[in-house]
Structure 1
Amino acid sequence: MGATRSRLLSKALLTAGIVAVLGLTACTSGGDGDGAATGGKGAATSPSGQAAPKPPAKITLDPASGAADVSPAAPVKVTVADGRIEALTLTNPAGKQVTGALSPDGTTWTVGEPLGYGKTYTWTGTAKGTDGKSAPITGSFTTVTPARQINASLNVGDGKTYGVGMPIAITFDRDVTDKASVTKALTVTTSVPTEGAWAWLSNRQVHWRPKTYWAPGTQVSLVAKLYGTPLGDGKYGAEDRTANFTIGRSQIVQGNTQTHRLVIIRDGQQVADYPASYGLDSDPGRVTNSGTHVVMSKHETYSMSNPKYHYENVVVPWAVRISNNGEFIHGYGPSVPEQGRRNVSHGCANLSPANAKVYFDSAMVGDPVEITGSTNQLGPEDGDYYDWAFTWDQWLAKAA
């Protein structure tokens, strides 16, 4: 009896040991373990326990296939997720391939040149997905056909140097009604921090000027991305415009019609004080306008005519234009006895020929000419460069 109980106890202990081992094994064979049975920590598995299949290439066209009225300057690209672009071309209706660039990781192809107006472009290519399979890249889109293409001209040019009062002017050859779109396409970059803004002075002209005069030596870059930009009423820009120029030394002319003097301030220092004769005060048609003018052009000689006042082809020396209403600073010998004493001109600032030559040689397009003392004020009727006739708040109010 004792031997039998001893054998039963040994069998029970052996059975308990086996159960304990099985229990330990069960704790290490679950899905969160690190054992070989799990296929490694974090491996994707299907419900059947097999590795999940890798996804195919996902292709995105921008603009979407079938898109119409696309701006030819809009970003155009193909992007592939879960794969790479194997081969890709974009062709115009004549079969010519458009220039483009593939990103280093092979997932994006971007057009590298402006497209044409009113053309259909077609994608052809393939992408390989992470599943190892190739997928076709196909589709097409059509660019907008303008009702009219509008040209624009600039008043500034590459490599030129201008005075500290120079505005930037863009003039269109037709009216612009979508002024907001045009303004967004315009960028002014300066080497010296400069606060400035665009203002629409008419339906065909937009100007940029700084809040105060430019800092001398400022490097200025203008980029007008007008091609592909809607100008309103179905009109689009014909081409982009750019200019890179420099602001020169500071020279400010101060003319006072009541003291009959014309003073030159260069880089903060007075360098000249000339006797002058301005427009006849008693005749509104002859008064020299008060306000900040801007030097527009220079002419060694200039022929002046005004039938209303009965003179024609009067040639004057050393003429510096300061507005488009006929105002100049120029030499005029016959008025020398009146210069510094009385105003007798027809709106110009008369200097002696000798003084006019000295001033002429120092003048630069864009120099401000500040006239004070007269009854008339410079305004829109006086031509293109009346930008400084506005206060800064008035200027900002002319933004699109």
Structure 2
Amino acid sequence: MRNVLKRAGRAAAVALTGVVLAAGAAGCTGGGLGLPFGDKGQDDETIRVTPDDRAKDVAPDGRLEVTVEDGRLERVVVTRVEDAQRAVVPGTIARDGRSWRPSDGARLSLAAKYTVDAVALDGDGRRAARHTTFTTAVPERRFIGYFSPEHRSTVGTGMIVSFGFSRPISDRAAVERAIRITSDPPVEVAGHWFGRERLDFRPSAYWEPGTRVTLDLRLRDVQGAPGVYGIQDRTVTFTVGRSQVSRVDAEKHFMEVRRDGDLVSTVPITAGAPKSTTYNGKMVVTELYDVTRMNGATVGFTKEDGKGEYDIKDVPHAMRLTDSGTFLHGNYWAAESVFGKENVSHGCVGLRDVKGGGADTPAGWFFDRTLVGDVVEVVNSPDRQVAPDNGLGGWNMSWTRWKAGSAVRAAG
């Protein structure tokens, strides 16, 4: 969730993982729901994006636009992500502020993933945000792996390397062998498959700060399924930054923030209310937003008329923890007295904030000190443990169980 004026130089969103992580509106999930995002019941979207969120096989010369019926677009950023080099699609907001379109001659790349991040102001100066993703067409009989983290990024010590494939993989051992991950200093890294379209890699314990990691992707002409071959051949590197692990105690209503093992702050929080509890377990920050929209309808919190129990268009300082919609975020609408005292959220972890996001609030302080890849662990919640494939939840599996999910090891 984002204060675009205060942080104009920061990307609209730092988005990461090769699995689908975001949709038209975010939402706090109750741990028991575990529902995916979607645009169902979202006919009232303030900001409309074409192609639709999560669209696949988009033509490189297909229609790409962002529009608002009321108010004005403040900022639109369309970015090719999960490649060896990020690239922003050039475009212009119309003079009346109602639409954004690519510049003449701008063309999307084949076999690529794009994010769209837009911020708009209505007639009363209220800010709304939208984040969507789409992927362009992959040549017939070919496959690609969308991966995170990004090339040359600096990440937290809990980062898990994640691949989401454009087509189901049947020869998983061949694909896994074609992805080599090395580090300096060296550690053992193992792969784990979640189904036929996702492959994650991690070491036995969190990375050491300062580690430099190299991904050698040699998927070109590797047969992932009968008659279907890879097209990637590239090297990607990333660096592990300082260690930051934060422990949220849902029963005591506080979060301990530890930097390189030392306690640097104890922050009052509010977690999931009794009817919409927060997952327990280790979760990894995968996206950062100065501001975002959260609509309960996207994660199953609806009223009798089908509309969301809540629809907050300007949630500040949002850090995504799960695919299903768990965030750690700023909260300006709850009474200040609940932080450190009560659990009142729909499953997210809330930090005190102000409308528009304040740099000197607990949420602003934590947001400005967070990297994608940082670990947030929730304890003492009445809910179950987060699933290992819900976001980058693989740290909740033992090393033995993790390695058992490797197709290479299974193949001997």
- TM-score by length of structure 2 reads 0.59
SS of match in other structure, 2:291: strand
Letter in 2 for 1:157: E
Equivalent residue runs for 1:24-173 within 5 Å: 148-173=141-166
> After TM superposition, where is structure 1 displaced by more than 4 Å over at least 4 residues in a row?
none
Structure 1 pair 290/241, CA: closer, same or farther in 2 (3 Å)?
A: farther
* Residue 371 of structure 1: how far off its partner (Å): 0.8
SS of match in other structure, 1:337: helix
* Residue 230 of structure 1: how far off its partner (Å): 1.2
SS of match in other structure, 1:334: coil
* Residue 323 of structure 1: how far off its partner (Å): 1.2
Asked if structure 2 preserves the Cα contact closer than 8 Å seen for 1:290 and 1:372, the reply is yes
Q: Distance in 1 between matches of 2:266 and 2:152?
A: 32
Report the equivalent of 1:385: 392
Does residue 209 in structure 1 map to residue 202 in structure 2?
yes
Q: Distance in 2 between matches of 1:263 and 1:394?
A: 29
Report the equivalent of 1:126: none
* Residue 147 of structure 1: how far off its partner (Å): 7.5
Letter in 2 for 1:172: F
Report the equivalent of 1:341: 341
Equivalent residue runs for 1:213-292 within 5 Å: 213-280=206-273, 282-283=274-275, 286-292=276-282
Query: What does the per-residue CA deviation read over 1:128-158, in whole Å, with 9 as the maximum and x for residues that have no partner?
Result: xxxxxxxxxxxxxxxxxx9811111111222
Asked if structure 2 preserves the Cα contact closer than 8 Å seen for 1:211 and 1:392, the reply is yes
Query: What does the per-residue CA deviation read over 1:10-65, in whole Å, with 9 as the maximum and x for residues that have no partner?
Result: xxxxxxxxxxxxxxxxxxxxxxxxxxxxxxxxxxxxxxxxxxxxxxxxxxxxxxxx
Asked if structure 2 preserves the Cα contact closer than 8 Å seen for 1:287 and 1:376, the reply is no
Report the equivalent of 1:180: 173
Asked if structure 1 preserves the Cα contact closer than 8 Å seen for 2:194 and 2:389, the reply is no
* Residue 195 of structure 1: how far off its partner (Å): 2.2
Q: Distance in 1 between matches of 2:156 and 2:296?
A: 30
SS of match in other structure, 1:362: coil
Q: Distance in 1 between matches of 2:389 and 2:145?
A: 22
SS of match in other structure, 1:215: coil
* Residue 174 of structure 1: how far off its partner (Å): 0.4
Report the equivalent of 1:53: none
**Structure 2 runs not aligned, ≥5 long:** 1-138, 303-308, 354-360, 408-412
Equivalent residue runs for 1:353-364 within 5 Å: 353=353, 354-364=361-371
Q: Distance in 1 between matches of 2:202 and 2:365?
A: 29
* Residue 267 of structure 1: how far off its partner (Å): 0.8
* Residue 233 of structure 1: how far off its partner (Å): 1.7
Query: What does the per-residue CA deviation read over 1:317-349, in whole Å, with 9 as the maximum and x for residues that have no partner?
Result: 111111112111111123321111111101111
Letter in 1 for 2:287: S
* Residue 201 of structure 1: how far off its partner (Å): 1.4
* Residue 380 of structure 1: how far off its partner (Å): 5.1
Q: Distance in 2 between matches of 1:371 and 1:222?
A: 30
Report the equivalent of 1:316: 315
Q: Distance in 2 between matches of 1:174 and 1:229?
A: 13
Does residue 373 in structure 1 map to residue 372 in structure 2?
no
* Residue 203 of structure 1: how far off its partner (Å): 0.6
Query: What does the per-residue CA deviation read over 1:239-265, in whole Å, with 9 as the maximum and x for residues that have no partner?
Result: 224311100000001101111101110
Worse-matched range after superposition: 301-310 or 157-166? 301-310
* Larger RCO (CA under 8 A, 6+ residues apart): 2
Identity across the alignment (%): 33
Report the equivalent of 2:290: 300
* Residue 376 of structure 1: how far off its partner (Å): 2.0
Letter in 1 for 2:312: N
Report the equivalent of 2:350: 350
Structure 1 pair 275/147, CA: closer, same or farther in 2 (3 Å)?
A: closer
Letter in 2 for 1:197: A
Query: What does the per-residue CA deviation read over 1:147-200, in whole Å, with 9 as the maximum and x for residues that have no partner?
Result: 811111111222110000000111110000001111111111111121220111
Q: Distance in 2 between matches of 1:317 and 1:376?
A: 27
Asked if structure 2 preserves the Cα contact closer than 8 Å seen for 1:158 and 1:245, the reply is yes
SS of match in other structure, 2:368: helix
* Residue 274 of structure 1: how far off its partner (Å): 0.6
Query: What does the per-residue CA deviation read over 1:206-230, in whole Å, with 9 as the maximum and x for residues that have no partner?
Result: 1111100000000110001100111
Structure 1 pair 295/251, CA: closer, same or farther in 2 (3 Å)?
A: same
SS of match in other structure, 2:248: strand
* Residue 314 of structure 1: how far off its partner (Å): 4.1
- TM-score by length of structure 1 reads 0.61
Letter in 2 for 1:345: S
* Residue 296 of structure 1: how far off its partner (Å): 0.7
Q: Distance in 1 between matches of 2:218 and 2:188?
A: 21
* Residue 392 of structure 1: how far off its partner (Å): 0.9
Letter in 2 for 1:262: M
Letter in 1 for 2:323: N
Calculate the aligned-residue CA RMSD, in Å. 1.5
* Residue 202 of structure 1: how far off its partner (Å): 2.0
Q: Distance in 1 between matches of 2:401 and 2:350?
A: 32
